[in-house]
């Protein structure tokens, strides 16, 4: 049976956020030349797939997640020739390339939107969501927006276009208008664009907020208000756009129009905020041919209170309950993707690990072991394999991200103290993930010869790739071993998962079983030593497969120690 499973069930994906990966031309912004120059790093790590965050022409309001031309490369990042070169170089090394597909919205500078905005009679008017003010109100009146939805980047999801007196919808920034997927011409244009990339040799897509493309709209074009948000004039519109009524139809159609009948080995992963296990089973059921796997958000929401800016400590039981449910829910149908870090999340070693000098390496490797031993496809975000941590942001001027800056303006104008907003930004801002990759100990960390667009973390003098490359005890070396283990051991890629000790507050343990072969994984997510053999007597006679620390006393799991053993 294992032989029939798709290639990506044994694969590890590496995400490159190109702005911050490697700069080859000294302008302080990473680029394709930089990615090409660092491919050895990826081969050396042993990853199978490179997911490239957007490199298309863009005004960069959201660092490229606002695209103004889907079929070209922004000169900031290089050229189409370099992209072709990247495809070829990756394929020559046995790796594959995933492009980022951002089609819930485009940039407001995309010619489609420019045309659409030109007036109510534009042939592309209906390619986006244009609506008059709320009945009985005048354009621009407070509260006259067509619905009460709050944008993911603060404020209303509607911006008035004074020329026509109509509003356009943007679930994200005002520079990211939502495309109207109800219109078949929009869908056909997206499908044609995707085929064009596949024809160039790319191997699939990571699909940005793809569960938001279908909006719950009445036959006469009305959209509904959402429940009011506490303490705000706005409401939660997610009931109208998360997993909307036509989402399965749109994804199945996309699959049919783009992938079906095409020779090749592709991968599609749909980013789906708010997706439940039950929904993910449907989205990733191979019989339905929609997407291969989804990015779910449950575990990265466990430290959120009323919003991501209201930070709470992670409770171990919640993490176990959540991951356990996802492992069980997708065991017979569908497939999990596994991640801690990406360009939207603060660094996991700071957030869920312990980035004190004493435990940073150990907690980074412990978290990595936990994740990589689950069933699913692991994603490594650039720098995670080096133990990169959050940045010591001092003032508001240190932040660049549109989400952080919008949040600051809205929260402070709503009466929150500037200090408390800054404290939350320091912990949760996406900029934590976006500081340049730390290649070496030189002043700009080997990232650029110019001035980096976001400062390099001062800790790069100690935490960098050059220092770790030949050190068998490094975080990097541990990632290499984890990735190799998945390739070598069918039980790691494919074995069944069973959670152990669901109520223990510090030890995260589980088994993986494939036929007669069984592994036990035990991770101590804290500073207190744990009596391993008392907690898990089966570990006693079990030989070590992989660990993150030298073992002094086999019966004890040391602080942040992770052990993988083979059950006799």
Site size with ligand NOJ, rule: CB under 6 A: 9
343 to 372: interface string for ligand NOJ, x by CB under 6 A: xx----------------------------
- What is the SS3 assignment for 170-203? CCCCCCCCEECCCCHHHHHHHHHHHHHHHHCCCC
Q: List binders of ligand NOJ among 464-523 (CB under 6 A).
A: none
- 401 Cβ contact partners less than 8 Å away, ≥ 6 residues apart: 63, 429, 430, 431, 434
d(CA 220, CA 144): 19
Q: Where are the alpha helices (DSSP H) in 46-137?
A: 80-92, 111-117
Query: In angstroms, what is the minimal distance from the CB of 454 to ligand NOJ?
Result: 15
Q: Is 108 in the site for ligand NOJ (CB under 6 A)?
A: no
Q: Is 209 in the site for ligand NOJ (CB under 6 A)?
A: yes
Annotation marks residue 471 as catalytic: no
Q: In angstroms, what is the minimal distance from the CB of 25 to ligand NOJ?
A: 24
Q: How many other CB atoms are there within 10 angstroms of residue 174's CB atom?
A: 19
Q: How far is the CB of 51 from ligand NOJ (least distance, A)?
A: 11
Query: Which residues from 161-190 bind ligand NOJ, rule CB under 6 A?
Result: 172
* Sequence-distant contacts of 227-234: CB under 8 A, at least 24 apart: 228/148, 229/150, 230/306, 231/414, 232/150, 232/414, 233/142, 233/143, 233/148, 234/148, 234/149, 234/150, 234/155, 234/156
Residue 520: partners with Cβ closer than 8 Å, 6 or more residues away: 500, 509, 510, 511, 536, 538, 539, 542, 564, 565, 566, 567
Q: Rule CB under 6 A: is residue 241 a binding residue for ligand NOJ?
A: no
How many degrees, rounded to 5, is the angle at CA 297 between CA 384 and CA 153?
90
Measured at CB, which residue is nearest to ligand NOJ?
Answer: 65
- Closest CB 223 distance from ligand NOJ, rounded Å: 20
Q: Which is nearer to ligand NOJ, 62 or 292 (CB)?
A: 62
CB of 401 to ligand NOJ, least distance (A): 9
Q: How far is the CB of 206 from ligand NOJ (least distance, A)?
A: 9
Using rule CB under 6 A, residue 102 touches ligand NOJ? yes
496 noted as active-site residue: no
Nearer to ligand NOJ, 209 or 247 (CB): 209
Of residues 310-349, those binding ligand NOJ (CB under 6 A): 343-344
CA Rg, the chain, in Å?
24
Catalytically annotated residue among 66, 208, 431, 561? 208
Annotated catalytic residue within 74, 166, 173, 271: 271
Residue of 65, 149, 158, 339 interacting with ligand NOJ (CB under 6 A): 65
3 state DSSP class of 299: helix
* Gap between the Cα atoms of 529 and 91, Å rounded: 45
62 binds ligand NOJ (CB under 6 A): yes
- Residues taking part in catalysis: 208, 271
Which residues would be at the binding site for ligand NOJ (CB under 6 A)? 62, 65, 102, 172, 208-209, 271, 343-344
């Amino acid at each position: 049976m294992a032989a029939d499973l798709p290639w990506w069930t044994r694969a590890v994906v590496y995400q490159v956020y190109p702005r911050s990966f490697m700069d080859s031309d000294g302008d302080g912004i990473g680029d394709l030349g930089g990615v090409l120059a660092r491919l050895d790093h990826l081969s050396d790590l042993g990853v199978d797939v490179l997911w490239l965050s957007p490199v298309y022409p863009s005004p960069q309001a959201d660092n490229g997640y606002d695209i103004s031309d889907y079929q070209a490369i922004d000169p900031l990042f290089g050229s189409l020739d370099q992209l072709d070169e990247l495809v070829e170089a990756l394929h020559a090394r046995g790796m594959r390339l995933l492009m980022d597909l951002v089609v819930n919205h485009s940039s407001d500078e995309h010619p489609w939107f420019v045309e659409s905005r030109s007036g109510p009679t534009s042939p592309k008017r209906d390619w986006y969501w244009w609506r008059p003010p709320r009945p009985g109100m005048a354009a621009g009146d407070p509260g006259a927006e067509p619905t009460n939805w709050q944008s993911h980047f603060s404020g209303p999801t509607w911006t008035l276009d004074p020329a026509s007196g109509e509003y356009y919808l943007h679930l994200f920034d005002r520079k990211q208008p939502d495309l109207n997927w109800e219109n078949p011409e929009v869908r056909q244009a997206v499908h044609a664009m995707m085929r064009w990339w596949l024809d160039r040799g790319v191997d699939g897509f990571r699909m940005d907020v793809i569960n938001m493309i279908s909006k719950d709209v009445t036959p006469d074009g009305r959209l509904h208000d959402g429940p009011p948000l506490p303490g705000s004039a706005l409401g939660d519109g997610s009931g109208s756009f998360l997993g909307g009524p036509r989402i399965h139809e749109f994804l199945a159609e996309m699959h049919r129009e783009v992938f079906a009948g095409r020779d090749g080995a592709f991968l599609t992963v749909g980013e789906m905020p708010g997706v439940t296990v039950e929904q993910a089973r449907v989205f990733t059921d191979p019989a339905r041919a929609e997407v291969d796997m989804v990015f779910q958000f449950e575990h990265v929401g466990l430290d959120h209170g009323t919003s991501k800016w209201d930070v709470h400590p992670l409770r171990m039981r919640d993490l176990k309950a959540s991951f356990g449910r996802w492992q069980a829910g997708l065991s017979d149908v569908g497939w999990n993707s596994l991640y801690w870090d990406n360009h939207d999340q603060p660094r996991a070693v700071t957030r869920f690990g312990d980035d004190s000098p004493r435990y940073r390496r150990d907690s980074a490797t412990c978290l990595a072991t936990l994740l990589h031993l689950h069933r699913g496809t692991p994603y490594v975000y650039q720098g995670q394999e080096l133990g990169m941590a959050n940045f010591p942001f001092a003032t508001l001027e240190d932040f660049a991200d549109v989400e952080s800056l919008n949040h600051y303006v809205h929260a402070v104008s709503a009466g929150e103290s500037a200090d408390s907003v800054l404290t939350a930004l320091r912990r949760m801002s996406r900029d934590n993930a976006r500081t340049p990759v730390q290649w070496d100990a030189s002043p700009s960390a080997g990232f650029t010869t110019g001035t980096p667009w976001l400062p390099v973390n001062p800790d790069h003098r100690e935490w960098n790739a050059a220092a770790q490359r030949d050190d068998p005890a490094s975080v990097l070396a541990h990632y290499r071993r984890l990735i190799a283990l998945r390739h070598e051991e069918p039980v790691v890629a494919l074995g069944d998962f069973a959670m152990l000790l669901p109520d223990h507050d510090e030890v995260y343990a589980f088994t993986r079983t494939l036929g007669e072969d069984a592994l036990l994984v035990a991770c101590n997510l804290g500073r207190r030593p744990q009596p391993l053999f008392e907690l898990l007597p089966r570990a006693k006679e079990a030989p070590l497969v992989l660990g993150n620390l030298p073992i002094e006393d086999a019966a004890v799991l040391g602080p942040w120690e992770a052990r993988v053993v083979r059950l006799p």
